[in-house]
Every structure is written in C-alpha cells, then in structure tokens.
Amino acid sequence: MHPYSVPDHVRQRVLGRKGKPLSLEAIDCARAALLVVDMQNYFVAPGFPQEVPVARAIVPAINRMAAAMRSAGGTVAWIQTTATGALETWGNHHRYGMSPEVAARRLATLAEDAEGYRLWHALEPSPVDLRVKKIKFSAMLPGSSDLHETLSRRGVDTVLVAGTTTNVCCESTARDAMMLDYRVAMLSDATAARSDEEHAASLNTFHIFFGDVMTVDEASARLVPLVRARTA
C-alpha cells in the first residue's frame, strides 16, 4: 500500500481549522457505512485497462474494515461502476473526454456481463451487504446511483471511504458525501491511486477541507457497536 502519513504542514492546518486532528472521535455504527469504491477487475486485475496495482495490496485492509463494520452492526456497500446508462447520462465524457477506441473499450469492459465489471476475487463481500451500481465518478451524484437515497433510508449520516482510485472516484464520492452533510473519513491504507504522489495529494486536500483521513486501525478503534449505540 502507499506509504502515507499526514504531513506536519497538513496536520497544522487541520488543527487550525478543526481544533483537533480528527473530528470523528466515535463512529456510531447504527448510522455509519463503509463505502468500497470500484474494486472491480477493470481497476484492480493485472492487464485490465485501468489497472491500479496498489489496489491489490489494500484488499486485506478493506476486508478487515468491512468485517469490523459488519460485526459492529454498520452498513457495508460495495460500489461498482457500470456501463449501463453511461452514454445516456454521461455522453459528453465518453464522446469528448476520451478517444473513440478508449470509450468503446471502457463501455465493453464495464458491461455488467463482462469480467471487468466483477469484484476482484480476493474481496470478501457478505450477502447482507449493499451492492450499488454507479455510472459516474461519484456515487453520491444525482443520476449516478441511488446510494444517497439508500443510505438516507437507513439513517446513515457517517461514511468511511475505501477503494480506488483515491483521487478520482473515492475522492469524488467522499467530497459529494460531505456536501450532502455526511460526516466523512477517507481510509488512507484502504485506498489506492496510480502513484504515491497522487494518493497523498488527494488525502492532504481532503483532510484540510472536507473530512478526516485515518487508517483502518484508527477507524476500527472508533466504532461504537449497534447495541451500545442504541442503549448509551
């Protein structure tokens, strides 16, 4: 995984803005969800078009966080990018944001019956988890998925974000969640980008302005299990 730690200059800006290094001191699992973004073959498996090699290294951390969240009574959502509806709702991106060859390959490889659409085989989803399809980078954007509506029905107001890539779909989803008034943390050792520099730049900016950045261990230590949360 990426060798990330919060730089001192970022820590000082966070302290100046929030008054403490992390605003999520406790995570009420009755109202919390882990969002695992785009851990599909298209982005994870060797040889696929948008392979992020480091994404394979974060799989144990994702599985550990998912198990902890599930055990504590929280929600786990596996979010997968689909080609279905992409041209109808995001046509300009496919027509002008990439070459015709790249667009055609993306649509074919992310078709829901294609191998690229499937979750990476080493992940450990549970039948009780949510499975969410998204069209655009952010799963929280209207018209991209029904994630926000689904979480709202469950009373979720706090989300932890894992997956790939840190600086595109993870960050887009996390920022939009914050704008929708969720409390948000990105998990630094359960997210992956194409380079250490891209990963760090994304997390640094997010931490200063949008939410927390913490490790899986830090997040797990803050989980307040469902029974305790309801009786406290």
Reply yes or no on whether the pLDDT at 196 is more than 50.
Answer: yes
The whole-angstrom separation of Cα 26 and Cα 224 is 7
pTM above 0.85, yes or no: yes
- 183-205 mean pLDDT: 98
**Cβ within 8 Å of residue 47, ≥6 positions away:** none
The whole-angstrom separation of Cα 107 and Cα 94 is 9
The predicted-structure confidence for 97-137, as pLDDT tens digits, reads as follows: 999 999 999 999 999 999 999 999 999 999 999 999 999 99
Reply yes or no on whether the pLDDT at 31 is more than 80.
Answer: yes
Strand order in the sheet with 32-37: 130-134, 75-81, 32-37, 158-164, 183-192, 212-214
- 36-61 mean pLDDT: 97
* pLDDT interval class at 55 (50, 70, 90): very high
Give me the residue spans of the domains in the chain: 8-81+119-231
- 61-72 mean pLDDT: 98
Arithmetic mean of pLDDT over the chain:
96
Query: Residues 77, 152, 138, 80: is their CA dihedral positive or negative?
Result: positive
Reply yes or no on whether the pLDDT at 145 is more than 90.
Answer: yes
pLDDT at 227: 66
pLDDT at 230: 47
- Its CATH architecture, for the domain 8-81+119-231, is 3-Layer(aba) Sandwich (3.40)
pLDDT at 231: 45
Cα angle for residues 45, 199, 53 (degrees, 5° grid): 20
* pLDDT interval class at 226 (50, 70, 90): confident
* pLDDT interval class at 197 (50, 70, 90): very high
- Segment among 86-95, 167-176, 213-222 with least mean pLDDT: 86-95
With contact defined as beta carbons under 8 Å apart, do 75 and 116 qualify?
Answer: no
Reply yes or no on whether the pLDDT at 90 is more than 70.
Answer: yes
- 82-101 mean pLDDT: 94
**Cβ within 8 Å of residue 16, ≥6 positions away:** none
- 211-221 mean pLDDT: 98
- 31-56 mean pLDDT: 97
